[in-house]
Structure 1
Amino acid sequence: MRPVDALLHIMRDEKVDTVFGNPGTSELPFTDALATASDIDFVLGVHEGPVVAMADGYARATGRPAFVSLHIAAGLANGLIGLLNASRSRTPLVVTAGQQHRGHLVSDPLLSGDLVGIARPAVKHAFDVQHAHDLPVLLRRAFALARRPPAGPVFLSIPMDLLDEDTDIPVPTRSTVAPLGAATELDAAAALLAGADRPAIVAGDGVGRDGAMAELVAVAEASGATVYHQPMHDRVDFPMTHPLYAGMLAPTNEAIRTALAGHDLVFIVGTHAFMAHHYTPGPAIPDGTTVIQLDSDPAELGRNFPVALGLHGGLAVTLGELGRRLAGRVPAAAGRLAAGARASAGRRAEIDAVARAGYGSAPLDPLAAVHAVTAGLPEDAVVVEEAITSGVQLRRLLALDRPGSLVHTVGGGLGWGLGAAIGHQLGQPDRPVVAVLGDGCTMFGLQGLWTAARHRVPATFVVMNNGEYRTLKDTLDGRQSRSTRSGHYVGLDLAAPGLDFTKAAEFFGVESVRVRDTDQLADAVAKAAVATGPTLIDVPITGHGGERRKP
């Protein structure tokens, strides 16, 4: 089998039905072969940033590694933000880039470079394929590594002339690897949970990735533990309407420590070191707190804080066994559940009242705006969130219970959300996708609208347009009082001239609307349920300090 045929054979065997890419001369042998591969679609992006984000969304929607084709050194560099995001969010991707012809690499030709060196810091592993007979082995290895906990992107540099070689190479069959079993020491874990007076659970994104939410719910209900999402969680890891759910932990050690101070035991499940964002002194775990930690990645156990018991195993099977050991063992569980229901109802009523009080005309109050978005969400919608300050408010209002209903990245590289929404909609076309995006985030990934228009992807893009980098202004004000500042911010304003995203949508051929009030916003979001193509909703919101701008 020729190298290029072996590449396509393995892709099919690994269930690849879509390639996300932006091709150049060094990828032409690959794209030429795809021209006769009717069972593999090529989704073209006009910039590599949105291309990688689309693959990220597609992998999450399908539950399979997605395949990405980037163009040599420059295209790989453009895609690094997406690869960093995928690494942090542990999204399985197999990423290739064509290298220049090996016959003149010694001459340092245009666009060539150390592709492995460029990719290595942003991926789980990087391979430099130099021999045709190595390609099938390394490609199989890349798919296996991309899936194996901790999952992530794997990169291969493939010289363009290697794919053109007229040589017969063997192709190894796909290996079957048994999943992780249950952790050991579960009797000890159950005894610790059952003996706690005020237990808490931190639900990490590993729960959602591993399909373990139902098993975690059983553990929470059996123990009566209060449940928090990990900071800036990028999926639904615990039902948001559950009586025991207490919301998301804020992303600083100080805030986490404050939230957990009332608990004598914390069970941390499938989360990477709490993902703190801004630095605050001191540990995340309060002194004297007993910690149990469960993860499919053994490197996480006791990584940043001491644990009384570290459990390594498959999350769903381990939680299932633990739930059975806890069932009927904690008499206080029913009372804790009832108390949690009262507290949860009170929090929701309070935030709902505050948000509704802000309803009105544009520019909208940010909390009222995200409330209107949640009010308009179609049934079974997938929410893709990259809205920074508005996104934090949105999470206080969301009532998502089904796994896969929230998509975010803890990577932090801007411009991911628009492409991720496109990829997720392509990977799961039976669920409406609504992306809630900040205006700055949208600017980073704007080229993705071209792909949405070309492929008639029925995703809805809601742009929260405050004309500024509000999170940075808030951070500056948190560092020092307004009275000691000049009142000016350098490089943080986008409003002059104002950003009208309907004009950008028109340029790319995407239907759009600029909303006048909260009711129109809710109605516009609701139309995502019946959309037949992409829609952009421009939402003028008040800026830093609540200033009202011209809509």
Structure 2
Amino acid sequence: MQASGQTTVREAVLHLLRSFGMTTIFGNPGSTELPMFRNFPDDFRYVLGLQESISLGMADGFAQATRNAALVNLHSAVGVGHALGNLFTAYKNGTPLVVTAGQQARSILPYEPFLFAQQPAEFPKPYVKWSCEPARAEDVPGAIARAYYIAMQPPRGPTFVSIPVDDWDRPCEPVEPRRVSRTIRGDSEMLAEIGEALSLAERPAFVVGAGLARDDGWDEVVALAERHQAAVWVSPMAARNAFPEDHPLFAGFLVAGRERIVSALAGHDLVLALGAPLFVYHVEGFGPHLPHGTRLFQLVDDPSAASWLPVGTSVVTNVKLGLAELLEGPAPRRREPPAPIRRPDRLTGMPFSDGYLLQQVAASMPKGAIVVEEAPSSRGPMHDHLPITTRDGFYTCASGGLGHGLPAAIGVALGRPGEKVVAILGDGSAMYAIQGLWTAAQLQLPISFVIVNNRRYEALIGFGRLFGLQQTVGTDLPGIDFCAIAEGQGVAAQRVASPTELDQALARSFGASGPSLVEVVVD
């Protein structure tokens, strides 16, 4: 224990966390983490997840919603292992997190003690921006500070610090927070060149991605698109919404295939990618990356994404600031607006499809509600029937992994208190993190969990057809009672098996002040 009047590592770290606005801690505690919470201060809150991946997913949603790094506290080795799937997703999402993990006492590390982590700083790589186990207890506060600054620097992402259990009560010198710039300003000459090219283009198109939403460039991209009468596409697999999908210039969603992207962008002589890698491929493709004669320019805050772009010109910049410079560029030539996209016909409910469900969700969910989605096989119908029209109104998983959506919805609800969250989850996806419902119930968060139950891994069955598989193994999911699971964790639930029951069930859920679940059995 420390001598009287000295600062402990714990006190120094808590002081830093307060200064950084990180007074919410997500975790699932183990033995090597307990001393961190001795005399836990009243101005901090601990959000318990019933498994480490859920804790990390909640922190991811919270950090995205608050635009500040969140703190995740994991158990050594095995706890970190449990969380790695959602750590990978946070890395792909560009989510700033400071992840700490316990380690056994320094004095017994030479003897490979029970519940210790071997090479702990290496374990979460390469899906953290920086990681360390400090050489001395006194170095822990400085490591936490560095982890925060790096997590918040663009491109944002997770960092990791392993902390031996006996470090927390050791004396140390306090570490004061510093101001560290988080803004990247792009090359003004290159931006001026893009502005000139944009003004001269005959038929420009924009492709917007999650980086634009992270940089809060909603107003700027709407203004620039309207100024240039540019069609606006969403980049493949975009994890955030960056443009209103009911806007006349909205053109639709690019598909993650080379030939499909080329076909969609045909006829555009200039493409401006904003916070988007653009060339996200999910299946093998061949031929050019762009239509013949099309020029590509990219604004992105990630030097790595700029480096692997196969064609075109990239400017590494805060996208919002880059757009502001483009808005000051030369006046555009006179152009006719692009033809509006054809909106899909309204569905009748026969068959009782996921498209009909999502259409009714769009019609009845509260104005301004936030959609968190993890229903891969329903992504296409969601694009058709559940347009996202409000700023920061949509969150999903950039990695393609499962088990993120349900806990992320909890984190978003915590980060945006008082706002309704609608979590659209596939039945298979939901089961990766179903015990997250317990946390939602304990905190009484206003979340409507809507389970699209098609009783199988539908996305895999569809993908199997691409490989010529007539039958896929291990894809059926019969006999899961989501209402029983929800009610067993304290969440009110209702099962819907026909369109006549749907609207009333959705209205009840959307009107609830706490969490509720609607299981919808679709054809």
Q: Structure 2 length normalisation: TM-score? A: 0.95
Query: Aligned match of 2:345 in 329, 345, 352?
Result: 352
Q: Deviations over 1:258-291 (max 9, x none)?
A: 1112211111111135332222234432343211
- Give distance in 2, aligned partners of 1:109 and 1:409: 37
Matched, 1:525 2:518: no
The corresponding residue for 1:385 is 373
2:92 counterpart (67, 76, 88): 88
Partner of 1:504: 485
> Contact between 2:371 and 2:394, CA under 8 Å: does it hold in 1?
yes
2:179 paired residue number: 175
CA–CA distance in 2 between the matches of 1:10 and 1:241?
A: 43
* Other structure's SS at 2:87 match: helix
CA contact (8 A) 1:385 1:407 kept: yes
Give CA deviations for 1:429-448 in whole Å, capped at 9, x if unaligned: 12100000011110001110
Residue pairs, 1:71-470, within 5 angstroms: 71-113=75-117, 114-165=119-170, 167-177=171-181, 179-185=183-189, 186-307=191-312, 309-326=313-330, 328-332=331-335, 335-336=336-337, 339-340=338-339, 343-344=340-341, 347-348=342-343, 351-353=344-346, 356-357=347-348, 359-360=349-350, 364-470=352-458
1:281-324 superposed Cα distances (whole Å, 9 cap, x missing partner): 344323432111111223332523221x3222221122012112
2: CA distance between counterparts of 1:53 and 1:250? 26
For the aligned residues, what is the CA RMSD?
Answer: 1.7
Q: Which whole-Å CA distance do the structure 2 matches of 1:274 and 1:410 have between them?
A: 14
| 2:132 partner SS | strand
Percent of aligned positions that are identical: 38
Q: Judging changes above 3 Å, is the alpha-carbon distance between structure 1 residues 298 and 489 closer, same or farther for their aligned structure 2 residues?
A: closer
Per the alignment, in what secondary structure is the counterpart of residue 15 of structure 1? coil
Q: Which residue of 2 aligns with 1:546?
A: none
Give the counterpart letter for 1:474 in structure 2. G
Q: 2:209·2:239 contact (CA, 8 Å) conserved in 1?
A: no
SS at match of 2:65: helix
Q: Distance in 2 between matches of 1:187 and 1:238?
A: 24
SS in structure 2 of the partner of residue 430 of structure 1: coil
> Is the CA contact 1:268–1:293 (under 8 Å) kept in the aligned structure 2?
yes
3-state SS of paired residue (2:160): strand
Q: Which residue among 23, 26, 30 is the counterpart of 1:24? A: 30
* CA displacement at 1:360 relative to structure 2: 4.5
Ranges of 4+ aligned residues in structure 1 off by more than 4 Å: none
Query: SS at 1:228's partner residue?
Result: strand
Which residue of structure 1 aligns with residue 3 of structure 2?
Answer: none
Secondary structure of the structure 2 residue equivalent to 1:322: helix
C-alpha separation in 1, matches of 2:291 and 2:308:
16
Equivalent pair of 1:133/1:170 in contact (CA under 8 Å) = no
1:442-495 CA-partner distances (Å, limit 9, x unpaired)? 000111011111111221110100111111111111222xxxx5x432111112
- Give the secondary structure class of the aligned counterpart of 1:9: helix
Give 2:18's aligned amino acid: R
Deviation, structure 1 residue 528 = 4.6
Alignment of 1:35-50 (within 5 A): 37-50=41-54
Residues 182 and 321 in structure 1, CA contact (< 8 A), matched pair in contact too: no
Give the aligned length: 515
- Provide, for residues 85-141 of structure 1, a one-character-per-residue CA deviation record: whole Å limited to 9, x for no partner: 000010111100010111111111122123212112221211112312211221111
1:489 maps to: 472
> Is the contact made by 2:355 and 2:385 (CA closer than 8 Å) also made in structure 1?
no
CA distance in 1, matches of 2:52, 2:46: 14
Q: Distance in 1 between matches of 2:248 and 2:499?
A: 29
Q: Structure 1: where are the runs of 5+ without partners?
A: 543-551
Equivalence for 2:4: none
Q: What stretches of structure 2 of length at least 5 have no aligned partner?
A: 1-6
3-state DSSP class of the match of 1:493? coil
